[in-house]
Amino acid sequence: MAQRTCIITGETDDSSNLIRFVISPDGSLTPDLAQKLPGRGTYVMPKPEYITEALKKNKFAKHIDFQKKASLEEIETFTALVGNLLQRRFVEQLSLARRQGSAIAGVGKLKENASLIGLLISNDASVREARQLESATSPNWVMRDIPAETLGEAFGRNSIAYVGLLRSKNAKSKFDGRSIQQSFQRWKPFIHVFPCHEGTDGCINETDLDAK
């Protein structure tokens, strides 16, 4: 995995653990979560305070020539929208795993699978039940404190307490749940800071900051 350096902290990490930013053809600052957009990019550790600092101190101008003096309101809005997009990506990846038969929900179904790749536990799950389920399914890894509504969204429900990731029966499959882990870890720092930036139609998803 390629290593990249955060423009705020100076820390180096796998690029998939950071947020890449590029300038779109119309001159807007755009988060490239899939890291596939063309053009020169720069990286920031996935914490809202670092994105805020990069905009306040005009760090993007130095690294990708994004020239704009944003107001405090614009900075807060942009940072919140990045969080919304990170949440959406997590839901999309978990939904894809469900459609491929690699993600299941419900205590009963999970207990039928004694060996899981991963176990996702919601923030309102019973501590006792979660421990029992973890012991019964022996997952390779566990992620806790995920909003129950977000887990539910991936399954078309209002909320879900537990989701299990299964080993694929296809020998050629490389699914190991790592992308889902990474998506949640990138989104997690934004959850309690910007749970949802509300617009007239609900959560706003546009994430571009126009240069001026």
Q: What is the structure's pLDDT at 68?
A: 76
Q: What is the structure's pLDDT at 115?
A: 77
**Pairwise pLDDT comparison (162 vs 100), residue with the higher score:** 162
Q: What is the structure's pLDDT at 195?
A: 53
Final residue before a domain boundary, out of 60, 83, 106? 83
Q: What is the structure's pLDDT at 26?
A: 87
Query: Is the Cβ–Cβ distance between 116 and 105 less than 8 Å?
Result: no
Q: What is the structure's pLDDT at 87?
A: 97
Let me know if residue 209 belongs to a domain: no
**Pairwise pLDDT comparison (72 vs 195), residue with the higher score:** 72
Residue 169's pLDDT band (boundaries 50, 70, 90)?
A: low
Kindly state whether residues 58 and 137 are assigned to the same domain: no
Residue 91's pLDDT band (boundaries 50, 70, 90)?
A: very high
Q: What is the structure's pLDDT at 105?
A: 95
Let me know if residue 198 belongs to a domain: no
Let me know if residue 207 belongs to a domain: no
Number of domains in the chain: 2
Final residue before a domain boundary, out of 20, 49, 83? 83
Kindly state whether residues 68 and 110 are assigned to the same domain: no
Q: What is the structure's pLDDT at 142?
A: 96
Kindly state whether residues 73 and 125 are assigned to the same domain: no
Q: What is the pLDDT of residues 124-139, one digit of tens each?
A: 999 999 999 999 999 9
Q: What is the mean pLDDT of the chain?
A: 88
Least Cα distance to 28 among 81, 66, 82, 83 occurs for 66
Kindly state whether residues 55 and 29 are assigned to the same domain: yes
Kindly state whether residues 123 and 58 are assigned to the same domain: no
Q: Which residues does 39 contact at the CB level (< 8 Å), separation at least 6?
A: 22, 23
Let me know if residue 202 belongs to a domain: no
Q: What is the structure's pLDDT at 200?
A: 34
Kindly state whether residues 133 and 182 are assigned to the same domain: yes
Q: Which residues does 76 contact at the CB level (< 8 Å), separation at least 6?
A: 52
Least Cα distance to 145 among 125, 118, 116 occurs for 125
Let me know if residue 112 belongs to a domain: yes
Final residue before a domain boundary, out of 58, 83, 108? 83
Let me know if residue 195 belongs to a domain: no
Kindly state whether residues 93 and 185 are assigned to the same domain: yes
Q: Looking at the chain, how many residues does it have?
A: 212
Q: What is the structure's pLDDT at 211?
A: 55
The predicted model gives 23-39 an average pLDDT of 92
Predicted TM-score (pTM) of the model is 0.87
81: pLDDT strictly greater than 90:
yes
Domain of residue 146, CATH code: 3.30.1330.30
Let me know if residue 179 belongs to a domain: yes
The predicted model gives 93-121 an average pLDDT of 91
To which residue do tokens 């706003």 refer?
Answer: 204
Q: What is the pLDDT of residues 53-62, one digit of tens each?
A: 999 999 998 8
Long-range contacts of residues 47-50, Cβ cutoff 8 Å, at least 24 apart: 47/189, 48/79, 48/80, 48/82, 48/83, 48/189, 48/190, 48/193, 48/194, 50/6, 50/8, 50/9
The range of the structural domain enclosing residue 118 comes to 89-190
Kindly state whether residues 60 and 131 are assigned to the same domain: no
Domain of residue 16, CATH code: 3.30.1230.10
